[in-house]
Amino acid sequence: MRIAELLKARVVPVEFKSFPDGESYLRFLGDVEGDRVCIVQTACPPQDTNLLRALLMADTAVELGAEEVVLVVPYLAYARQDKRFLEGETVSLKTVLKLFRATAVKKLITVDAHNPKVLEEAGIEAQNLSAIPLLAEHLRKRGLRGALSLSLGKKALDMAVKGGEVLGGGHACLITRRDLLTGRVVVEGALEARARDVVIFDDIISTGGTMVEAVKAVVKQGARRVLAACVHPLLIRDAMEMILRSGAEQIVGTDTVPSPVSFVSVAPLIADALAQSG
Ligand code: R5P
């Protein structure tokens, strides 16, 4: 709704229902024939239902004669299962992208996909937006100017770089390793964090295990204040309490996933991308 307001675009409501057996029912309550249609459906829990809803809406809009359909999935579920880590596993992201491709959508837009590289091989025009500057801006306005921006793992260093550009306190990364069978996370790496304010950026906080270990490591290295910032705050079970108990002053997330910490809206980011794509 917020995206439509920013773009001054017409909204076509879609009725959602669940049948008693759990199947989804969807119905467009307006005409889309000949229109350029943007469907916004995040894939937060329940991921499977929300992904299916996105697919049903995208396919139906094409069938109802939309001139072109852009699908916006702010949180792209299954993005972490982007390869076969253990023999016999599904490469779930690849399958999800194949399904999007089958709906004939013109373009897929998402926010901070876990591994944006995989999107390049999706066989569908895909745009990955980053909400890290928005998160950093939110924190800068709340007194974190000059804080050290931290990412978890070298692959995610880009997040720390983006955060650092806004907060102005430089960037660094910690190394994280997860045991594939137990899920336990180990965090390593020395930082110049003594008496500094530190913001730890991550794409997702799910169970909170990774962030808890990261916060503990930064606190141990003498940081003055530690804040946890993530784009997709899934915050499963007691993740939030655990992170705060481990020494983080605050958790800040975006509204790609509704949560008690979704203080930053990605609507302006998505509206801009849609406006620019014509
Ligand atoms: C991992 O590669 C991701 O970037 C996140 O760090 C991870 O998914 C967080 O999961 P959890 O909160 O369950 O540790």
- Measured CA to CA, the distance from residue 65 to residue 55 in angstroms comes to 16
Q: Ligand 1 centre from 30 Cα, in Å?
A: 39
Q: Could you read off the pLDDT of 111-151 as tens digits, one per residue?
A: 999 988 888 877 899 999 999 999 999 999 999 999 999 99
Q: How many CB atoms lie within 10 A of CB 145?
A: 14
Residues near ligand 1 with C-beta < 6 Å? 80, 152, 185, 202-211
| Index of the ligand 1 atom closest to the CA of residue 206 | 12
Position 28, amino acid: F
Q: 65: how many CB neighbours lie within 10 A of its CB?
A: 12
**Per-residue model confidence as pLDDT tens digits over 15-52:** 999 999 999 999 999 999 999 999 999 999 999 999 99
Ligand 1 pocket: which of 204, 207, 243 to mutate (most atoms within 8 A of CB): 204
> What pLDDT, on a 0 to 100 scale, did the predictor assign at position 278?
66
Atom of ligand 1 nearest to the CA of 203: 4
The DSSP call for residue 82 is: -
pLDDT in tens, 212-240: 999 999 999 999 999 999 999 999 999 99
Q: Per-residue pLDDT tens for 235-264?
A: 999 999 999 999 999 999 999 999 999 999
The model carries a pTM of 0.94
Nearest CA to ligand 1 atom 3: 204
Q: Which run of H or E residues covers position 166?
A: helix 157-167
